[in-house]
Amino acid sequence: MNRRNFQKQLATAAIGLPFVGKIKTNEPQLKARRLKKGDTIGVISPGSYIDDRGFEKAVRNLENLGLNVKLATNVRAQEGYLAGSDVQRLDDLHSMFADREVAGVWCIRGGYGCTRLLPNINYDLIRTNPKPIIGYSDITALLQAIYVETGLVGFHGPVASSNFTRYTTRYLKRTLFQGKRALEIEFSRNNLRKGKRDPAYEKYTISPGKARGKLIGGNLSILTSLAGTRWEVDIRDHILFIEDIGEKPYRIDRMLTQLRQATNLRRARGIALGIFEDCEAGRSDLSLTLRETLTDRLSDLNIPVLYGCSFGHIADQFTLPIGITADLDATRQTLTFLESGVE
């Protein structure tokens, strides 16, 4: 693509976008209407390209939920490792929020690319057309930026091409369709069984205690990349939830150290850690274990910290609404939503 034309297109996309500062944590949050069978869902690919198999699986997953699928114009575009150009992916995001037939926006996969879009998103458009937006991993960037700029509750849950297990589907429906106002999460029994042989799935308390606050968080790598930007997560007085995949302990250490030094992590109410799949050191590595690393970086914060919650890059995962009030009890090892994420 011609660089001059590309820059001109990006500038055009950003016209009329006012600077909007971070929302205050005590302001009421913006909630979209809950989903129901027969709703039309806009499917976008704001990060990496998806192959044919993943695409077909995504459409089938949403149709099995009783939803009608509306594909974004550029959902199958490709530009290197990205799902099309920044302009194409941004246009798809905007068009789905502007489309009155679309009840929700579902990201087809994560990968990489969402952070590139943040400066040029029309947050006013999203604020005036609130809809559930769903995804995880790289989609953390969209969920957090939209929350920071508009207060809209987004949903850290399966991307459209995920494995929609019975557990995943049950909590997805309870959160997005039924809008349960008081929901204590029952952690996946499959994950707990895996914890007996795989330390990544083991549930344990790093620091005991109880905490109440609004949920915020997502993928650790993305949260770290947002530190120091306009869309940095304001962790103060929140319950932070984090997960990651394929990062060795020293990299987990480095990212948590950056959050300690660059953000107000120390003022969090509590921390809920998901399942850090494939994050152990190799047998020949001179390394702390994942558990030792997390304990070293988080146990001195003097707040409740629980590891092994059923979310992350795993099959059985529950859906977390960004910005709702929740209780974390690291002693009893429970997480409870105290309000609905949808109207």
Which one of 45, 48, 95, 137 is the catalytic residue?
A: 137
For β-strands 204-207 and 305-312, DSSP reports them as antiparallel
The residue annotated as part of the active site, out of 94, 156, 238, 313, is: 313
DSSP assignment, residue 282? P
Within 125-209, strands assigned E span 133-135, 155-156, 183-184, 204-207
Rg (C-alpha) for the chain, rounded Å, is: 19
d(Cα 325, Cα 337) in Å, to the nearest integer? 6
The vertex-259 CA angle with 275 and 134, nearest 5°, equals 50
Q: Is 184 a catalytic residue?
A: no
Interatomic CA distance for residues 325 and 216, integer angstroms: 10
Terminal CA-to-CA distance of the chain, rounded, Å?
43
* Euclidean distance between CA atoms 211 and 227, whole angstroms: 24
Whether 94 sits among the annotated catalytic residues: the reply is no
Sheet holding 133-135: strands in order across? Answer: 68-71, 40-44, 102-107, 133-135, 155-156, 320-321
Q: State the residue for tokens 């949050």.
A: 29
* Residue for token pair 């914060």: 301
Report CA 328 to chain centroid distance, whole Å: 18
Torsion of CA 249, 49, 71, 114, to 10 degrees: 50
Residue 243 bears catalytic tag: yes
Alpha carbon 130 to its chain centroid, in Å, reads 17
Q: Which of 149, 232, 243, 280 is catalytic?
A: 243
**How many Å apart are CA 225 and CA 290, to the nearest integer?**
21
CA–CA separation, 132 and 119 (whole Å): 21
Q: Which residues are catalytic?
A: 137, 243, 313
